[in-house]
Copies of this chain bind each other. A is one copy, B any other.
Amino acid sequence: MSKVKNIFIGPPLKNESLQDEKLSVFWGLPILASDAVSSVAYAAEEILLVLVPVIGILSYSNLTKVSLAIVLLLVFLILSYKQTIASYPNGGGAYIVAKDNLGVVSGLTAGAALSVGYILTVAVSISSGTAAIISAFPHLAGLRIPICIFFLLILLIGNLRGIRESAKIFSIPTYAFTLAIIIMIIWGFIKVYFMGYVPPQPQLPSIPEGMQPSILLLLIAFSSGCSALTGVEAVSNAVPNFKEPTIKNSQRTLMLLGLIVFICFSGISLLANMYHVVPDKTQTVTVLSMIASEIFGSGLMYYFLQAMTALILVLAANTAYSGFPLLISVMAKDGYAPRQLALRGDRLSYSNGIVLLTALSAILIIVFGGDTHRLIPLYAVGVFLSFTLSQSGMFIKWLKHKEENNRNIKAFINGTGAFITAVAVIIIGWAKFSQGAWLVVVVIPIIILICFKIKQHYTAVALQLKRTDDELTAIDIDKDKYINHVIVPIASVNKASLRALRYARTISNRVTAFHVSINEEDSEKVRKRWALLDTDIKLYIRYSPYRKIIEPLLELVESEEHEYKKGDMITVVLPKFNVSSLWHNLLHNHTRFFLENKLLKYKHIVVATMPLQLKDDELAIERYQK
């Protein structure tokens, strides 16, 4: 087992290696940007899909307006998050910021919205990547789910190996995609402005002169285009993953990410306008692919861009792998998520969070049969909700901290950010409500409720376990011993039971052997062989008509002859066979396991499990058989 684990996941790493595992700007950018950059691939398309059917040829000038609004939003988001990073160098993003400044409910709302977003990102991007592969190789259609699971496993293994190593695996496509888009933008401009290329005019229904699109339509287009901005929060969540100086490095990464999204998104929007691309309602050919084929023809660059697009869609999932485990570990440290999620694994990554994210995404993929596109409208709402909460939190913070430098400018930036994103949440929620955004209204409160229940449990446990310093000083462990009754259940008198009896005598003077009789013949044999032993330990035999073991055992203990008093402990010694090969476990009836589980329901019973090493079958037969 551990050998297999070493091959795939790598050998364990020391706590001290944590610093080495952390990210530089160069490796951090591709890991944290793949989600944001990949959403650029379809944002212009989403906007045109809303506009073209209604206002035809007017769409292109309006695309520019809508894109400008989105770019403005992007600028505010980047500036806002830059301030957030400086104030919260320990990460946790929206959850921490909202919790600190707006209270626990807001924090959990942001945390829940982000978590749902991460899970959806993984499911959606893996499914789209797989869909791209299947449309290229249709005979793989029957393998849709296995292919999705295969990608998930690659992400799982890559991320379990640790932060930096997965960066290396996943960085090339992000850089390559960005480079290809930039080349396309430059070449697209050159072709039209310097080489005199005139793009064909599209066949679109003519619109009466002087007509203007309604504000409503533009708002819907805006809400669709906002998907371009999902993923920009990734850096602020992952601040502690960066090398020292943490804040500087993550701010630089954020600015670069913003720059890339800015260039790619506005460039593609301009190209779409320039080349008058008409989106395909059936979505067989993407807008990006149309632009690319007009600019590059069907040459090598075209195929390279297509391949990188498919790859980056799959890799967008990887951003979630760096965000979710960190977010959930912060929530777990606060007691709002199962505590296991706060522990670093062998390779210093939050293994449990990584496994949980994989499992939840796998369930989504399987339940939706690998067709998770219907889920896309869902997560923009969640993401923008967490944007709003995070920005509002920062705004409140500046209002409170009166001593801060430039607090008015800072408050203005975060306040405006909060306002714009809040407007975006309302627009997206309203425009996409019937398409699934309503689900967010259901799921987020359920998650918050679960978080509170978890916190309640940990609080209750802590209260029950608590001993104050004064209480500690008052306790005398050494004098305050228990009276310990030991019971050794015996099926037959053999090496294992004799060993258990010897051990029982070691730990107490009140030892009783106990045999449950189900069949008269076996019991008689036990009685006879017991008589051969030179011991004063008493053997009790109880007939059990319902073939039960626990009940007669408890009766025996509490019967008078044992002088059992409330507060005394009972130790039941159970032998456990260690067999030499795994399948041999199937051949033993695990009475021990059931007994232990049932006995441990009683707070006064300790179960002492005594292992007995069994030799390899053939070896044992050779040695003992005469």
Contact = CB atoms under 8 A, between A and B. Distances in A.
24 contacts: A14-B545, A16-B545, A338-B587, A339-B587, A457-B587, A457-B617, A458-B587, A460-B614, A460-B616, A463-B620, A463-B621, A464-B614, A465-B495, A466-B494, A466-B624, A472-B493, A477-B534, A481-B502, A506-B507, A507-B508, A603-B612, A605-B611, A606-B611, A608-B608
A454 B596 CA distance: 26
A477 B498 contact: yes
Interface string A81-124: 00000000000000000000000000000000000000000000
A493 B467 contact: yes
Contacts of A255: none
A176 interface: no
Interface stretch (A181-189, A372-380, A571-579): A571-579
Interface stretch (A34-42, A211-219, A340-348, A384-392): A340-348
A467 to B, nearest CB: 6
A473 interface: yes
Contact of A617 (B460, B493, B617): B460
Interface in A478-509: 478, 480-484, 493-496, 498, 501-503, 505-508
Range class of the A interface residue count: 35 or more
Nearest to A625: B463
A601 interface: yes
A606 B481 contact: no
Contacts of A480: 502
Contacts of A529: 469, 472
B613 A603 contact: yes
A616 to B, nearest CB: 8
B476 A606 contact: no
A466 B625 CA distance: 11
Nearest to A484: B506
A535 B477 contact: yes
Contacts of A589: 338-340, 343
Interface string A535-566: 11100000001111000000000000000000
A465 B494 contact: yes
A584 interface: yes
A463 B338 CA distance: 47
Given A484-B506, A617-B456, A606 B606 contact: no
Contacts of A476: 534-535
A15 interface: yes
A482 B506 contact: yes
Given A603-B611, A609-B600, A614-B461, A569 B506 contact: yes
Interface of A: 12-16, 338-340, 343-344, 346, 453-454, 456-461, 463-467, 469, 472-473, 475-478, 480-484, 493-496, 498, 501-503, 505-508, 518, 529, 532-537, 545-548, 569, 571, 573, 576-579, 584, 586-590, 596, 600-603, 605-618, 620-621, 624-625
Contacts of A601: 578, 611
Contact of A518 (B15, B532, B608): B15
A35 to B, nearest CB: 29
Contact of A532 (B453, B461, B473, B577): B473
Contacts of A586: 338
A460 to B, nearest CB: 4
The 10 closest A-B pairs by CB, nearest first: A507-B507, A463-B624, A465-B494, A460-B617, A460-B620, A14-B545, A340-B589, A472-B532, A603-B613, A608-B608
Contacts of A616: 460
Give the one of A469, A533, A571 with max B CB within 10 A. A533
Given A586-B338, A617-B457, A624-B463, A547 B477 contact: no
A503 B475 contact: no
Contact of A507 (B484, B494, B545, B612): B484
A353 to B, nearest CB: 13
Nearest to A343: B589
Given A466-B624, A507-B484, A460 B615 contact: yes
B472 A569 contact: no
A350 to B, nearest CB: 12
Contacts of A596: 609
B503 A482 contact: yes
B506 A494 contact: no
B609 A609 contact: yes
A459 B498 contact: no
B469 A498 contact: no
A484 B607 CA distance: 16
A484 B453 CA distance: 42
Contacts of A602: 611
Contacts of A506: 481-484, 507-508, 569
A494 B467 contact: yes
A503 B606 contact: yes
A487 to B, nearest CB: 14
A454 B453 CA distance: 48
A286 to B, nearest CB: 34
Given A460-B615, A460-B621, A481 B505 contact: yes
